[in-house]
Structure 1
Amino acid sequence: MSINEDNFANFDMNLIVVFILLYRERSVSRTAKLLSVGQPAVSGSLMRLRRKFEDPLFTRCGRGIVPTERAEQLIAELIPAVNKIEAMLCLKG
């Protein structure tokens, strides 16, 4: 099995974690706190995700954020994949 490394060359995989936490928390500030980074770092990550997926991904709603339809589609694909990776990383030996 192989991958096309060109697809990953210009993409920071840590953005996936930021995206999942933004989706779960519905808050830039809570996401920043969980990641032990400042809100500007999370906002910058969201900007990069928006450029990559050509969608706002989240819209402001009061003090929080609400996922767009595209974000809902992405999360449905990402969660099972990330869960598999996480399970593999937890294997011993």
Structure 2
Amino acid sequence: MNFEQLFKELKDYAKSQDMLKLNPDEEKVVWVIKGLLKNEEKYGHRYCPCRVVTGNEEDDAPKICPCKWHKDEIKEMGHCTCGLFVSTKGYA
């Protein structure tokens, strides 16, 4: 997968969700997508670049973007830890 394809996939995912959108900070989005692609190349999965990859696929599975924690983080902080997704409520 290349950058443009992953960007479109993540943008479509964000549009399908009521509470989140891609971060309007384009530099942050580019940084995260590059990290996802790097992790996919290195580990075979698009692990969030803000998560530590242990090498244990079972333990690491929840870290695949969008990670299992992103919605809770957005509710609590207004953005996910890596900053790819932000709240549609405008307080991120």
Please tell me the TM-score bracket, short chain as reference: under 0.3
Report the TM-score, using the length of structure 1 for normalisation: 0.28
Looking at CA atoms only, which structure, 1 or 2, has the larger radius of gyration?
A: 1
